[in-house]
Amino acid sequence: MAKAKKRSDCPVSCSLDVWGDKWSLLIVRDLLIAKECSYGDFLKSAEGIATNILAARLVALEENKIIEKLAHPDSKVKGLYRLTRKGIDLLPVMIEINLWAEKYYAIPEDRKAQLKEVKKDKAGFIKAMTKKLES
Amino acid sequence: MAKAKKRSDCPVSCSLDVWGDKWSLLIVRDLLIAKECSYGDFLKSAEGIATNILAARLVALEENKIIEKLAHPDSKVKGLYRLTRKGIDLLPVMIEINLWAEKYYAIPEDRKAQLKEVKKDKAGFIKAMTKKLES
DNA sequence: TACCTTTACTTGCATTTTGCAAGTGTAAAG
DNA sequence: CTTTACACTTGCAAAATGCAAGTAAAGGTA
């Protein structure tokens, strides 16, 4: 699994070394929306990630301190993933990605409605969401 | 190469379908910094992209209207790449990536200085930079 | 106690993408 | 008319991805 070897000191390059693939940010997205997800929850997402890829990405994201794995309160067989502070701090990036995509691609109506709220007070939204996710 | 097949309607997923790899955003970064780059300019960047990967990415980014290829004024053998408006609009995403990386990784001093300017007036910076890049 | 389901992975293998090195083609320079 | 610079292309090995099937352990049911 992608042992993050640094290609340069550029912040963009460093970031891409950690989450620059087609799946990592979708995992982060799921966690920003749901706060906590099990392995099975990620598999239910619309994009249909393969089980082996998901397992590999979860390990990599955990190694890079973007997510953390907790014990599930209901069952020992289940795990629960959530974002670390470092992961939560990707929220501004995620918001700008959403706004960019909204401008250039057709996206679902409910997402548009959410973004309308975000645009009203971006800083406020980020603050509130961060607080909620940190619980 | 990578004919962007849509995995879902999620804006994050759509975005990743277009530039969700380890190299595309580095090309965008170079163009945000330099405004115009030739094939050789991209090769000079610190990360050391392979020539075939670069060629493939340039084609993909052009197909997706993120960049455009122009004739070089000095020579017929050279081409000049620059960002389209759609590409320029990735600036907010790029800024947030930089800010995130600055918080969690060691980055060059000159980049930090630049980011300090950005933070003073993000909206103003984006507006000015956009104008400059659109020329 | 035995068995069945649910959940979370792991494994094997084909396909695709990446990375490296070397080669090709063309315009301009000497 | 040869050489150089630049922009790619090609071939091939290595790595990552995607798919399907398999394993293992906890917990529920009979």
Among all residues of chain A, which has the CA nearest to that of B93? A96
Q: Is the pLDDT of residue A4 over 80?
A: no
Distance B77 CA to D4 C1' (A): 13
Spatial separation of the C-alpha atoms in residues A3 and A19, rounded to whole Å: 12
Element holding A69 (H helix, E strand): strand A67-71
Q: A120 in the Ramachandran plot: left (φ > 0), alpha (ψ -120 to 50) or beta?
A: alpha
For residue B60, give the nucleotide whose C1' atom is nearest its CA: C17
Identify the three-state secondary structure at position B126: helix
Q: What's the pLDDT score for residue A5?
A: 81
Q: Kindly list the strands in the beta sheet with B36-37, ordered across the sheet, starting from the edge strand earlier in the chain.
A: B36-37, B79-83, B67-71
Closest nucleotide (C1' vs CA) to B69 is: D7
Chain A residues touching B9 at Cβ < 8 A: 46, 106-108
What number of other Cβ atoms are within 10 A of residue B127's Cβ?
Answer: 12
pLDDT above 60 for A1 = no
Total-model pTM? 0.93
d(CA A93, CA B102): 13
Q: Are B56 and B2 in contact (CB under 8 A)?
A: yes
Arithmetic mean of pLDDT, B48-59: 96
pLDDT tens, position by position, B96-131: 999 999 999 999 999 999 999 999 999 999 999 999
